[in-house]
């Protein structure tokens, strides 16, 4: 493993451990509720639908089948809160790649070493990707174990397909954070861009199905390529996942060009 990747992972270690523990606790706690819910699934389903009326229910993914194992797992783990928390983790780590060190005035010192900017950014991104992959693998194990313990009857292949999509989505947003940080060198700017694109993209994807005026915007939302294929229900949406990978690659190339062409610390 390259030295800079190893060093970056060391810098990310506390954040990775903290976010992994938090995400695992979230998944374990919410998935475990399903077992008690099954004592009266019909009543629970009616109460859940009544609690989130109209447009709010659309934002939560419809919730029509929340009383089933797949529906409940989709609602609590893969629809809104799970992606939101994991994306926050990715954005924080993405900011630590370039923008954070630049604002702390340590990036200039790193650039005095015999390493060019392209290699620096690529190895920082590699550490980001490996860190997110580690979190994804651990949370996949927790989601699988908790769903099995709660008798959700969701096959591992379906959970793996959904979790892979979640990883690709947060890798996109982590790379977006790094890209904006490489272009502007400011953490707040990067977080603002990720926050606006993430929230707007989710709203457009969930509500655009029923509102024609914004339905065309779904195609520029990364959330569309994560949710639209319904991997927990229908398996692997290979085309959508390739789009997410391609978009991430474009962001990485943009980050390389932007970082090479601007003056650090200005």
pLDDT: is 68 or 59 the higher one?
Answer: 68
Q: Would you put residue 230 in left (φ > 0), alpha (ψ -120 to 50) or beta? A: left
What's the pLDDT score for residue 239?
96
**pLDDT > 60? residue 83:** yes
pTM: 0.91
What is the token pair recorded at 232? 């927990």
3-state secondary structure labels for all residues of 197-217: HHHHHHHHHHHCCCCHHHHHH
Most confident among 50-59, 162-171, 183-192 (mean pLDDT): 162-171
What is the token pair recorded at 96? 């630590």
Q: What is the DSSP string of 30-95?
A: HHHHHHHHTTSHHHHHHHHHHHS-HHHHHHTT--TTTTSHHHHHIIIIIISHHHHHHHHHHHHHHH
Cα distances from 24 to residues 12, 18, 32, 139, 158, in angstroms, run 18, 10, 12, 6, 19
**pLDDT > 60? residue 17:** yes
Q: Which residues of 13-22 are buried (b: 16+ CB within 10 A; e: fewer)?
A: eeebeebbee
Q: How far apart are CA 233 and CA 163, in angstroms?
A: 12
Q: Which residues contact 13 (CB under 8 A, 6 or more apart)?
A: none
What's the pLDDT score for residue 117?
87
Cα distances from 122 to residues 54, 69, 182, in angstroms, run 45, 40, 11
Over range 195-204, report the average pLDDT.
92
Over range 135-144, report the average pLDDT.
97
Q: Which residues contact 87 (CB under 8 A, 6 or more apart)?
A: 169, 170, 173, 194, 198
**pLDDT > 90? residue 111:** no
**pLDDT > 70? residue 54:** no
Q: How far apart are CA 25 and CA 92, in angstroms?
A: 19
What's the pLDDT score for residue 33?
86
Q: How far apart are CA 217 and CA 244, in angstroms?
A: 16
**pLDDT > 70? residue 225:** yes
**pLDDT > 90? residue 250:** yes
**pLDDT > 80? residue 97:** yes
- The average confidence (pLDDT) of the chain is 88
pLDDT: is 47 or 129 the higher one?
Answer: 129
What's the pLDDT score for residue 264?
67
DSSP state of 113: S
Over range 62-87, report the average pLDDT.
85
pLDDT: is 235 or 45 the higher one?
Answer: 235
**pLDDT > 60? residue 265:** no
Most confident among 40-49, 74-83, 103-112, 176-185 (mean pLDDT): 176-185
**pLDDT > 80? residue 12:** yes
What's the pLDDT score for residue 75?
86
- Identify which of 71, 62, 61 has the alpha carbon closest to the alpha carbon of residue 41: 71
């Amino acid at each position: 493993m390259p030295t800079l990747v190893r060093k970056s992972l060391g810098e990310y270690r506390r954040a990775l451990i903290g976010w992994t523990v938090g995400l695992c606790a979230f998944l374990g706690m919410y998935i475990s509720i399903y077992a008690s819910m099954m004592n009266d699934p019909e009543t629970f389903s009616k109460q859940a639908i009544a609690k989130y009326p109209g447009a709010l229910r659309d934002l939560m993914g419809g919730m029509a089948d929340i009383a089933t194992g797949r529906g409940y797992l989709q609602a609590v783990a893969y629809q809104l809160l799970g992606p939101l928390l994991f994306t926050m983790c990715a954005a924080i780590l993405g900011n630590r790649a370039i923008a954070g060190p630049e604002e702390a005035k340590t990036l200039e010192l790193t650039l005095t070493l015999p390493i060019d900017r392209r290699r620096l950014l690529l190895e920082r991104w590699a550490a980001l990707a490996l860190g997110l992959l580690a979190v994804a693998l651990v949370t996949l194990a927790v989601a699988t174990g908790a769903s099995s313990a709660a008798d959700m009857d969701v096959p591992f292949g379906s959970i793996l397909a959904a979790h892979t999509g979640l990883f690709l989505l947060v890798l996109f947003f982590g790379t977006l954070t790094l890209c904006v940080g490489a272009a502007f060198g400011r953490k707040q700017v990067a977080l603002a861009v990720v926050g606006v694109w993430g929230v707007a993209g989710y709203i457009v994807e969930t509500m655009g199905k029923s509102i024609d005026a914004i339905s065309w915007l779904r195609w520029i939302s990364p959330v569309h390529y994560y949710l639209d294929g319904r991997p927990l229900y229908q398996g692997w949406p290979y085309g959508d996942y390739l789009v997410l990978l391609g978009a991430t690659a474009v962001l990485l190339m943009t980050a390389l060009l932007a970082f090479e062409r601007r003056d650090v610390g200005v």
